[in-house]
Amino acid sequence: MITGDAAYIKKINRSLIIRHIIKEGMISRADLSKITALTRATISAQVADLLEEGLIVETQLEHNSVGRKPIMLSINRHAGYALGIDLDYGQLSFTLSDLLGQPISSISIKIDTIDYSEIFQLLMGQIKKFQTDYSDSQYGIVGIVIAIHGLVSKDEVIHYVPRLKWDEMNLKRDLESEIDIPIYLENNANVCSFAERVYLHHDTDNLLCTTLYSGIGIGMMMKDEFFRGHDGYAGEAGHMIIVPGGKPCNCGNQGCWEKYASESSIFEYLSEKRKIKNLTYDQIQVWLDEGDAEVHHLMEQLIYYLAIGLNNMINMYNPDVIVLESELLRMFPDSLSKIKRNLTSSISHYRELIISDFGKKSVVLGSCALAIKKFLEVPMLNFTFEEQNEKNESVVILTKNL
């Protein structure tokens, strides 16, 4: 039994009710009482508050049986919006979602700078534009989560972003001084793991998500929480040394995992070798389809080294589900089976290994979902991903050279 002062108990009950309304989609007051074990009086009082606040709505279902038509409760998905931002090397990606985590509008901005002040101005300008364009709802934008491809401390200060060469930047403070919306910073691999947990793996207590895009990061969900470590820097597995004395890395070590098994390592090698400045996935897909021997060899090597690191992660954390975030692995034939064939240890245990279907959307989807979780003050969310037509736009910003 939960004990404490009345305000605390009311907050806990509210969170429980909201979570189950989201989980069920639509639910009656009577069924809420059964599922939560709360009295009907408590349910009625809490529901009245949530209706008054505009966070839930009532729907009367049509049915053919005799008696009163059931009144169903659901989240008012149009009461506000969440904004997820992927701050990556060379690109800013924004997605605005409703309160059920479904994308409404997305925009990508290509950037040709690593200068903090210039990127800050781009961020602030686009956030303010979203704020103006979507001010029609009761709560407006309820929160913003910015995914950082680097080290983010527990107090949400950017400790280090290798590819942007940012060191000890307080982006959260700087934005909050200009924008009156709750802003949160989180590691990109963490929000990817959150997206997988919220939208797909609802019953998974130990989920490990490996992102291979710009380096390698590990996001770990354990019992509905991120595994962060002492300062918040856990998950930087890309800088685990797998080849002693190997290729030099920006972190100062040699032979780091991400120098051998990340997508950026493939792109950097082929761009330099084939003298193509802006190499795309489409071009690599053409080479794969043509049976290009060098590209196929590079992918086989990536899988070989990827499996070495995954073996270490599995033995350290014994995850239930392992999700791989990689466009190249989706493109390469039979990549998942090849990875599994390299995971042959008799002491390595996991239930499921998959390649994510979200692609790079997982970063912004997870960011939106995390902003909603913080706004609603619930321990976890269970969303479904609905394919729908969202407004998409791409913008190219030319500034100084990277």
Same domain, 215 and 349: yes
Same domain, 343 and 236: yes
**Cβ-contact 106, 364 below 8 angstroms:** yes
Decide if 197 is inside a domain: no
Q: How confident is the model at residue 398 (pLDDT cuts 50, 70, 90)?
A: low
Q: What is the enclosing helix (H) or strand (E) of 225?
A: strand 225-226
Burial class (CB in 10 A: 0-12, 13-18, 19+), 99: buried
Decide if 212 is inside a domain: yes
| pLDDT score recorded for residue 1 | 45
Decide if 401 is inside a domain: no
Summarised one tens digit per residue, pLDDT across range 127-158 is: 999 999 999 999 999 999 999 999 999 999 99
| pLDDT score recorded for residue 61 | 76
Q: How confident is the model at residue 67 (pLDDT cuts 50, 70, 90)?
A: low
Distances from the Cα of 225 to the Cαs of 192, 193, 220, in angstroms?
13, 10, 8
Question: What pTM value is reported for the model?
Answer: 0.92
Summarised one tens digit per residue, pLDDT across range 166-188 is: 999 999 999 999 999 999 999 99
List, in sequence order, the alpha helices (H) in 134-221: 171-176, 188-199
| pLDDT score recorded for residue 3 | 54
Distance CA 311, CA 327 (A): 21
Q: Count up the domains in the chain and report the number.
A: 3
> Pick from 75, 105, 128: which residue ends a domain?
75
Same domain, 87 and 70: no
Summarised one tens digit per residue, pLDDT across range 355-391 is: 999 988 999 999 999 999 999 999 999 999 887 667 7
Q: Is the pLDDT of residue 195 over 60?
A: yes
Same domain, 94 and 36: no
Same domain, 172 and 245: no
User: The domain that contains 22 carries what CATH number?
Assistant: 1.10.10.10
Mean pLDDT of the chain: 93
Summarised one tens digit per residue, pLDDT across range 264-290 is: 999 999 999 999 988 999 999 999 999
| pLDDT score recorded for residue 60 | 83
